[in-house]
Amino acid sequence: MDFELKTLSAADAAPSRTDALIVLVQLESKPGRDALSRWVSDAVKAQDFEPRAGKLLAAYRPAGFGATRVLAAGIGDGSAKSVRQAVAAAVGSLKGSPARKITVLFPAAPAAGAVRAAVLAAADASYVYTTTRGKADGRKLERVTIGVPDAATQQQFFDQARGTVAGVELAKEWGNRPANHATPTLLADAAQSLARRGSGVQCEVLGPREVAKLGMGSFMAVARGSEEPLRFIVLKYQGAPKAAAPVVLVGKGITFDTGGISIKPAAEMDEMKFDMCGAASVLGVFKALSEIRPAVNVIGLIPACENMPDGRSLKPGDVVTSMSGQTIEVLNTDAEGRLILCDALSYAERFKPAAVIDIATLTGACVIALGGVRSGLFSSNDALATALQAAGEVALDPCWRMPLDDEYAEGLKSNFADVANVAGRAAGAVTAAKFLQRFTGSLTWAHLDIAGTAWKGGAAKGSTGRPVGLLLEYLLAQVGVSQPAVRAVRVRQRA
Ligand code: BES
Ligand code: MN
Ligand code: ZN
């Protein structure tokens, strides 16, 4: 799907030919005297349309307009969040229609982040997964034109948004693929194809032999129970001088999580194909970086394998030796995410990173704590936590900081190893983070538990592409090319 940014007034938009013209209407906005503005203000006066966020009014071939469909979409206070809601409703309402080319018009100057919100919402509301659906039709929408009073002021944010959409959609694609169409090998192939010439991305894939040589005994132990060979994916994006310390992103890549010998119940086990959404978000970020080309250095690390029950599987009580040298008593083979991440965190040290952020569908407990609204954020570093939280707010991909008091690590004590891989049921998302923290040494580290936010269940089952938006906003803020709002938040926090 194509996006286009144009300088367009309400007067110019009214006669233009398009399959749908969506005009965003703010509460108490002063109506212009052109035909489109009068159409809206008549409806408001007649109480047929209220410009609150999410409210819609649609007309088919109204006289005097060039568009086949004209929609007024309320944006209430005009904030990015309201714009997202409005565009989601308007584009969502067109999903069954034959509309292919549409225009989303901001009649007045958009608020900070509003253009990006519109682009992302239009993409999200028209997204269709097709890869394994036989002859199913794909996305109908071909082009979205964003009309604003002054395109030049929005160009940079628009370009970032378009790159972000590419990343979000790649993350959705790999998240949604069934596990037999998204094996560790296929995931590595996807990473490798990001490293096309001229993309700015490089990729290296390690297999079982190289991983054994590195001493990743914990990662290897999880992969033992599967016929599918593990992969350790290393992605590099160099946008800044070589000497600049990179940000390392580590994504959990369990392509299917049965629980292993500590097997999960059957209900909803299919959703464990989404257990590589952390990995998918790292792939998505690299896709977006290759399009946006910001001046940052980023490393992506993805340990990828299946967690299966088998004659060779890891067993409860087994003790494994991690790359860090710490021994781990595996009391529950279903707590496998931390077992593959700990070795990837040890590997991260060699890059002398400015920050390391791991992204993982790590615990059901995080879903209980925060639901599907905010990802769990854990960090021993206040500045990094603040920056990630601010990026989440600006990107409308929010997270919430959780505690890391040492008392939470009590339950991880083992009589047979340096550490156990599980504590009790209490504060399960925090004890998982405490386990990871043991492998971060002197790194500036944060952990995002996306178990509740990476996908939706039920009728709308599917990957959300989160937290690609948050991560990109964080990376762009590092080089000062983010939305003005994020800079304002950061300056306030410094003051
Ligand atoms: N991938 C799961 C976490 C998960 C569960 C995410 C449900 C989303 C929905 C993870 O590997 C896991 O199984 N965690 C266990 C940990 C427990 C054994 C300490 C969990 O959360 O039950
Ligand atoms: Mn598990
Ligand atoms: Zn898992």
- Give domain status of residue 353, yes or no: yes
- Give domain status of residue 495, yes or no: no
| Whether pLDDT at 492 is above 50 | no
> How many whole angstroms separate alpha carbon 164 and alpha carbon 286?
10
Give the per-residue pLDDT at 487. Answer: 45
- Give domain status of residue 368, yes or no: yes
306: Cβ below 6 Å to ligand 1?
A: no
> How many whole angstroms separate alpha carbon 178 and alpha carbon 184?
12
- Give domain status of residue 183, yes or no: yes
- pTM of the predicted model as reported, rounded to 2 decimal places: 0.97
Ligand 1: distance of its center to the CA of 335 in Å?
Answer: 6
Give the per-residue pLDDT at 176. Answer: 98
> Within this chain, do residues 254 and 185 fall inside the same structural domain, yes or no?
yes
> How many whole angstroms separate alpha carbon 300 and alpha carbon 236?
6
> Within this chain, do residues 177 and 136 fall inside the same structural domain, yes or no?
no
422: Cβ below 6 Å to ligand 1?
A: yes
> Within this chain, do residues 13 and 143 fall inside the same structural domain, yes or no?
yes
CATH code assigned at 418: 3.40.630.10
Which residues partner with 462 through β-bridges? Answer: 456
Mean pLDDT of the chain: 96
DSSP letter for each residue of 445-480: EEEEE-TTTSEE-GGG-EE--TTHHHHHHHHHHHTT
Per-residue model confidence as pLDDT tens digits over 419-471:
999 999 999 999 999 999 999 999 999 999 999 999 999 999 999 999 999 99
**Would you call 196 a catalytic residue per the annotation?**
no
> Within this chain, do residues 198 and 109 fall inside the same structural domain, yes or no?
no
Ion ligand 2 — residues with CB under 5 Å?
257, 334, 336
| Whether pLDDT at 45 is above 70 | yes
Query: Which of 358, 256, 363 is closest to 299 using CA atoms?
Result: 358
- Give domain status of residue 250, yes or no: yes
> How many whole angstroms separate alpha carbon 403 and alpha carbon 318?
29
> Within this chain, do residues 315 and 447 fall inside the same structural domain, yes or no?
yes
> How many whole angstroms separate alpha carbon 421 and alpha carbon 332?
7
Alpha carbon nearest to ligand 1 atom 8, residue: 451
- Give domain status of residue 486, yes or no: no
> How many whole angstroms separate alpha carbon 420 and alpha carbon 413?
6
> Within this chain, do residues 182 and 277 fall inside the same structural domain, yes or no?
yes
- Beta-carbon-side half-sphere exposure of residue 484 (alpha carbons within 13 Å): 8
> Within this chain, do residues 199 and 116 fall inside the same structural domain, yes or no?
no
**Would you call 264 a catalytic residue per the annotation?**
yes
> How many whole angstroms separate alpha carbon 490 and alpha carbon 40?
38
- Residue 135 — pLDDT band, cuts 50, 70, 90? confident
> Within this chain, do residues 310 and 416 fall inside the same structural domain, yes or no?
yes
Q: Which of 106, 127, 152 is the last residue of a domain?
A: 152
Per-residue model confidence as pLDDT tens digits over 223-241:
999 999 999 999 999 999 9
CATH code assigned at 66: 3.40.220.10
User: Which amino acid does the sequence have at 242?
Assistant: K
Ligand 2: distance of its center to the CA of 110 in Å?
Answer: 44
Per-residue model confidence as pLDDT tens digits over 269-298:
999 999 999 999 999 999 999 999 999 999
Strand arrangement of the beta sheet that strand 2-7 belongs to: 2-7, 143-148, 101-105, 18-25, 67-74, 56-60
> Within this chain, do residues 98 and 42 fall inside the same structural domain, yes or no?
yes
> How many whole angstroms separate alpha carbon 305 and alpha carbon 241?
33
Q: Which of 308, 334, 341 to mutate to test the pocket of ligand 1 (most atoms within 8 A of CB)?
A: 334
- Residue 483 — pLDDT band, cuts 50, 70, 90? low
> Within this chain, do residues 203 and 94 fall inside the same structural domain, yes or no?
no
Ligand 3: distance of its center to the CA of 254 in Å?
Answer: 6
322: Cβ below 6 Å to ligand 1?
A: no
Q: Which of 93, 123, 152 is the last residue of a domain?
A: 152
- Residue 480 — pLDDT band, cuts 50, 70, 90? confident
- Give domain status of residue 143, yes or no: yes
> How many whole angstroms separate alpha carbon 377 and alpha carbon 359?
10
Mean pLDDT of all residues in 164-185: 98
> Within this chain, do residues 123 and 169 fall inside the same structural domain, yes or no?
no
- Give domain status of residue 412, yes or no: yes
Please give the tally of structural domains in the chain.
2
| Whether pLDDT at 490 is above 60 | no
| Whether pLDDT at 342 is above 80 | yes
Mean pLDDT of all residues in 52-75: 97
Atom of ligand 1 nearest to the CA of 361: 6
> Within this chain, do residues 176 and 143 fall inside the same structural domain, yes or no?
no
What is the domain range of residue 369? 165-478
- Residue 489 — pLDDT band, cuts 50, 70, 90? very low
- Say if CB 103 and CB 18 are below 8 A apart: yes
What is the chain's alpha carbon radius of gyration, rounded to the nearest angstrom? 24
Which residues partner with 328 through β-bridges? Answer: 320, 419
Q: Which residues contact 412 (CB under 8 A, 6 or more apart)?
A: 419, 420, 421, 422, 423, 431, 434, 435
- Residue 481 — pLDDT band, cuts 50, 70, 90? confident
